[in-house]
Chains A and B, each alone.
Chain A
Amino acid sequence: MATDAKARIAHYLSGFFPVTDLKDDDDLFALGFVSSMFAMQLVTFVEHEFDVVVENEDLELDNFRSIGALEAFVGRKLAATAAS
């Protein structure tokens, strides 16, 4: 599951970043290739791809900073959904 989520996140992000191997801990916001609508694209992708709802309190930059951070965030959201 974790590997699957990471692969799906990496595939989506590959459209934004002209680097062949985006590493799990590469800082997406420091790479400097994002457009003004990137933040909303990323939120919409996470919600659609993993069927979760991104709330205001989830908007910590650290949740969206890297592939690894996104994978961990999605994992927490899915676990919370399953527990509720």
Chain B
Amino acid sequence: MNGLLTDDQRSALEEFRAFADAEIAPHADPAHRAQRTEPAVVKALADTGWMGLAIPAEYGGLGRDAVQLGLLAGELGRACSSIRSLLTVHTMVAHAIGRWGSREQRERWLPRLATGELTAALAVSEPGAGSDMAAVATALTREGEGWRLDGHKKWITYGETADLLLVVGRSAEGPTAVLVERGTPGLRTALITDLIGIRASMTADVWFDGCAVPGENLLGRPGLGVSHVAGAALDLGRYTVAWGSVGILDACLAASVDYAGRREAFGAPIKEHQLVRRMVSTMYADRQAARLLCLEAGRLRDARDPGALAAASTAKYFASTAAVRAASDTVQIHGANGCGPDYPAQRLLGDAKVMEVIEGSTQLHQTGLAEYAFQESARARRPHADAVTADAVRRDR
């Protein structure tokens, strides 16, 4: 992959890798068992400045490109999917504020999100609204100059600890996004435990009981909370989850290669057994392919190419499903050890399965990718704009 990166990206990758190995990986299994992220780990990440890696420099961030953000998500994902999910939801909210926030909102929130003084979470899912975001029922009612918020959000990653929540509720105009600060009277959260994966992700139920939201906390126009605000956030979320899945593939491959080289069965290391080699080779090829899809999505994102959305969806779909295959095979290669607590294999399997569910389920992406294929085909059949324009110019003459 190094040949496909610029010098800055390559240098950043080395930094991310060293940090993930030293500061994140040692905490992954303990955090998985304790089902919580220690504040010291969040502080270590915040101290690097990378919570604001992609936030523009004019708002206190590092203003790095999308490829570097992806590389960071990949390295955090290799070390600990819960911490990678913190980066994902935090950057989703920062991106939505940067994309659709007023100058006042950007100046108010982004510098503190960039330093990690504040952490953010996206509160869209509800008990009855997951993939179908437009079905949100949390009520946003105009009250004076502001809004009143009533409802129940569920499966909110880092909802238990986030200082700032981007909430999509339903107003008279349709789905509408507002920013809600922790400490707002009527806001209550409760940790959800015993998840299958990302068990340290402080995922929470969030209740809003008559929360008063100031008018200046409206993000984007009323009615555009899903199509534009959550849409922009989700697109970035898919991108970093895709990279996080590449990180899981990296971790699976490293664990499998190491174990297969040390474990002996029938008088030889199990890496000599052809069916074990088959699992490792599939894992290796999947990791390479997933990484290339993610790099392409990042390159298109940096070029502001409209094809970036389809590329992120493709990368997320492929990388997350490949991560599940790889994690399942990692458990298989480890045998009984893969099922127990002494090796990371079972953590990787649970984490990988979550990747297939969040930021658009596998089935949602499959449906969407077919649509992208039909779009490409339809455009290919239609004369290109240049030809259309040339015809029009000839007619005008």
Contact between chains at B235 and A37 (CB < 8 Å): yes
Q: Could you write out 26 A-B pairs with CB less than 8 Å apart?
A: A3-B392, A3-B396, A4-B389, A8-B385, A11-B379, A11-B384, A11-B385, A14-B379, A15-B374, A15-B375, A16-B375, A18-B378, A35-B371, A36-B133, A36-B227, A37-B231, A40-B228, A40-B231, A40-B235, A43-B228, A44-B305, A48-B305, A49-B306, A56-B221, A59-B220, A59-B228
> What is the chain B residue whose CB lies nearest that of A60?
B221
Contact between chains at B232 and A40 (CB < 8 Å): yes
Residues on B with C-beta less than 8 A from A8 are 385, 389
For chain A, which range describes its interface: under 10, 10 to 19, 20 to 34, or 35 or more residues? 20 to 34
Instruction: Point out residues on A near B: beta carbons under 8 Å.
Output: 3-4, 7-8, 10-12, 14-16, 18, 35-41, 43-45, 47-49, 56, 59
Q: How far apart are B304's CB and chain A's nearest CB, in angstroms?
A: 5
* Partner of A44 from B101, B304, B383 at Cβ < 8 Å: B304
Q: How far apart are B261's CB and chain A's nearest CB, in angstroms?
A: 44
Residues on A with C-beta less than 8 A from B384 are 11
Starting from the known contacts A4-B392, A11-B382, 8 additional A-B residue pairs (CB-CB under 8 Å) come to A3-B396, A16-B375, A35-B371, A36-B227, A37-B234, A40-B227, A47-B304, A59-B224
Residues on B with C-beta less than 8 A from A48 are 303-306
* CB interface residues, B 100-115, toward A, < 8 Å: 100-102
B315 interface hit (Cβ, 8 Å): no
Q: Most chain-B Cβ atoms within 10 A of its Cβ — which of A7, A38, A43?
A: A7
For chain B, which range describes its interface: under 10, 10 to 19, 20 to 34, or 35 or more residues? 35 or more
Instruction: Point out residues on B near A: beta carbons under 8 Å.
Output: 100-102, 133-134, 220-221, 224, 226-228, 231-232, 234-235, 303-306, 308-309, 313, 368, 371, 374-376, 378-379, 382-385, 388-389, 392-393, 396
Give the complex CA separation of A45 and B393 in angstroms: 24
Residues on A with C-beta less than 8 A from B224 are 39, 59
Residues on B with C-beta less than 8 A from A59 are 220-221, 224, 228
What are the nearest 9 A-B pairs in CB distance?
A: A15-B375, A39-B227, A7-B388, A11-B385, A45-B306, A8-B385, A40-B231, A44-B306, A15-B379
Contact between chains at A14 and B382 (CB < 8 Å): yes
Residues on A with C-beta less than 8 A from B383 are 11
Give the complex CA separation of A59 and B133 in angstroms: 20
> What is the chain A residue whose CB lies nearest that of B220?
A56
Contact between chains at B385 and A40 (CB < 8 Å): no
* Partner of B389 from A7, A16, A18, A45 at Cβ < 8 Å: A7
Residues on A with C-beta less than 8 A from B368 are 35, 37
Residues on B with C-beta less than 8 A from A7 are 385, 388-389, 392
Residues on A with C-beta less than 8 A from B388 are 7, 10-11
Residues on A with C-beta less than 8 A from B374 are 15
Give the complex CA separation of A48 and B382 in angstroms: 21
